[in-house]
Amino acid sequence: MTGYGIEYSFVGGKKISCWIKSVNSKYLEIYFDIPAEHIGVEPDMRREIRKRVKRGKVEVFIREEKTGFPISFRRVKSEDILSLFQSALIKFEESREDEGQVIAQDLLQRINKIREFISDIENLHASFPERIKAILKERVQQIAVEMGMENIPEDVIDKAGVVHIVRKADISEEITRIKSHIDSFEDEVEREGDGKKLMFIAQEILRELNTMGAKSLDIRISEKVIESKLEIERIREQLHNVE
């Protein structure tokens, strides 16, 4: 997750700044660019960052603001450097929290879109047996006309493969599991849960969608599955920014 914090302090009439910034990274990497006179405070700074950041590239800079006059950092106490760092760290955390809220809202909006798609799929799936029966009936009637026969009995249509087709294309279990995964995903986001767990849930939803797409014979359902998969991919991309 990206973040940014900056704080200033005046020492001996000179303005000193501490900058902390982070960008996304698979692992936690911490880099310091601070005066050599105060290299000894790095372990304390590193420890404080590790308490707050699980992964990402974090950089800490301590500089004299350009005033036209040189400054000796020997005149600056290590306690003052750490205090300046702590103030910048608070702003850094606030920045990350703000971004986290934006990401959370985006994730909830996208998972809600998938919930709507699944609701549409569920409705379409419920009407699927009757649609298959109507299609088969129309086709059998066409064959009957070609053969010079009149209307075909209803029970013949039932034996023409409706049950087999419906069972083969049944996606009710996938629908149930996806709805459960969506609930879990929303709960995890709302309680500011772990990014790895969210990624796992997203992958499970994608797996069920792939199965659903392979089984469905309804083009309308297939279209909804594709739209859902696109949203899942966007969610997975966003989760790379979440710890």
What confidence tens digit (pLDDT) does each residue in 127-136 have?
Answer: 766 666 665 6
**pLDDT for res 141:** 63
Residue 164 pLDDT grade (very low, low, confident, very high; cuts 50, 70, 90):
low
**pLDDT for res 58:** 96
Quick count: other Cβ atoms within 10 Å of Cβ 206?
18
CA proximity to 237, closest of 198, 187, 180: 198
Where are the domains positioned within the chain? 3-98, 100-239
Considering the entire predicted model, what is its pTM?
0.75
Rg (CA), the chain: 30
Residue 7 backbone zone (phi > 0: left; psi -120 to 50: alpha; other: beta): beta
**pLDDT for res 69:** 53
Report which residue type is found at 49: I
3-98 is a CATH 3.30.230 domain: yes
Report which residue type is found at 226: I
**pLDDT for res 30:** 95
Distance, CA of 171 to CA of 166 (rounded, Å): 9
Report which residue type is found at 8: Y
Between β-strands 56-64 and 28-33, what pairing exists: parallel, antiparallel or unpaired?
parallel
Quick count: other Cβ atoms within 10 Å of Cβ 76?
21
Distance, CA of 235 to CA of 239 (rounded, Å): 6
Of the listed ranges 96-105, 137-146, 193-202, 234-243, the one predicted with least confidence: 137-146
Residue 179 pLDDT grade (very low, low, confident, very high; cuts 50, 70, 90):
very high
Report which residue type is found at 63: R
Could you write out the DSSP letters of every residue in 120-175?
A: HHHHHHHTHHHHHHHHHHHHHHHHHHHTT--PPPHHHHIIIIIHHHHHHT--HHHH
With contact defined as beta carbons under 8 Å apart, do 4 and 51 qualify? no
Tell me which of 38 and 46 has the higher pLDDT.
Answer: 46
Would you say the C-alpha torsion 144, 147, 148, 149 has a positive or negative sign? negative
With contact defined as beta carbons under 8 Å apart, do 107 and 189 qualify? yes
